[in-house]
Amino acid sequence: MAALTVSFPIFFLLMAVAGGLTLASSILVSQAYGAKDLPRLKLVVQNSLLLTGVVSILCLVAGQFGAEAVFRAMQTPADVLPMAISYFRIFLWTIPFMFGVYFLASVMRGVGDSRSPLYFQAASLVMTAILDPLLMFGLLGFPRLGLNGTAVATICAQAAAFVSIAIYVQRRDHIAAPDWRRLRLHLPTTLLTAKIGVPTMIQQALVSVGMLFIVSMINRYGAHSSAAFGIAMRIDQVAFMPAMTVGMAVSTLAGQNIGAGRFDRVHEVFRWGVAVSCAITAIVSILALSLPSRLIGLFTSDADVIAVGAQYLRIVGLGYLLFAVMFVSNGVINGSGQTAVTTIFTFITFWAVRVPLAAYLSHRMGRVEGIWYAVLASLIVGTVASLAYYLS
């Protein structure tokens, strides 16, 4: 669990690039679709697909060469380091396929088709869940690969998902289907994609680098703290993913209505986005606050890990609803193309609040819980900043 925990921020840093490209592509596609400008839509798809392919290879190479140095700089515990490096270098091979899946899914959502990518990504998750135990424990004649087996399983599942989606959009003559024989870079479209996407890349990179600092602070309190944080982040993801996906939907709908000149509907999108996001996230928040030890206990039987992880959920679980509101508000702002604004909010949230406050409180309290309080404080500041901008 500790090996996974220290690997996640580095991988997320690389995925920040994919996030920027796919969000920019989705915004441009949704605006073109809303304006009924199909030639423009096709141009964005062709251009962004080639950009995504080139950048994914660059990220793969950078990760392979830089992984060990970054793990060491994070003060990764010596008993965790070899496993983390081995796992991460294999897992990196998911990047080209994962970038491709993200891209195709985002442009399909940009034209209002969120259902089709769901089926393929759900099938990919099922395939991963089946392959994980087979490759980890060497069941049914498969090789016994341990933790690395989960990385191999993910590579297989992501490759299958990418190929399947690519075949699907071509055979269905989907409006977002790329023409693989005519991929080329169009300079004005590339520059516009960069204008929208680079702030988002920076935004997610700020989060990733901030997480590197947070994890390095947590590592000082031992492997049980690292493992507890890794488990707690999985609970976080259950709470955050609905908020993130509703935020993506809000971004698409805002972009379509802005492209169509229907600005009156954007506020309605915001209101319903907040209602749906908070309704779903509230369920996880209640569970995290009322059953923290049981949730952490689903992943481990280690008493120290359970105690530290449960304390995290008691503190940070209060902020899950804030996250739900912030993602919807940011979704509207991003849908209007103002991604630089949400990047500034991220900088304030992580680098003006979370990282320095985590360093101060953990040192002052002498306990890892100081970091948990800093996480909650940063969520409050980020939500207030986003709402203030949106309402203005």
Average pLDDT of the residues in 289-306: 90
On the 0-12 / 13-18 / 19+ scale of CB atoms within 10 A, 386 is buried
pLDDT in tens, 32-78: 887 788 888 888 888 888 888 888 888 888 888 888 888 888 778 88
Higher local confidence (pLDDT), 238 or 337: 238
* Residues contacting residue 190 through CB under 8 Å, at least 6 positions apart: 47, 51
Average pLDDT of the residues in 298-307: 89
Higher local confidence (pLDDT), 204 or 315: 315
Residue 13 pLDDT level (bands cut at 50, 70, 90): confident
* Residues contacting residue 298 through CB under 8 Å, at least 6 positions apart: none
CA distances from 274 to 109, 223, 247 (A): 19, 37, 9
pLDDT at 275 over 90: yes
User: What mean pLDDT is reported for the chain?
Assistant: 87
Q: What percent of the chain has pLDDT over 90?
A: 33
Average pLDDT of the residues in 82-91: 90
Its pTM surpasses 0.85: no
pLDDT at 226: 85
What CA–CA distance (Å, rounded) separates 101 from 124? Answer: 10
pLDDT at 164 over 90: yes
Tally helices (H) and strands (E) across the chain: 15, 0
What CA–CA distance (Å, rounded) separates 392 from 387? Answer: 8
- Sign of the CA dihedral 382, 385, 388, 392? negative
pLDDT in tens, 353-392: 999 999 999 988 888 889 999 999 999 999 999 999 998 8
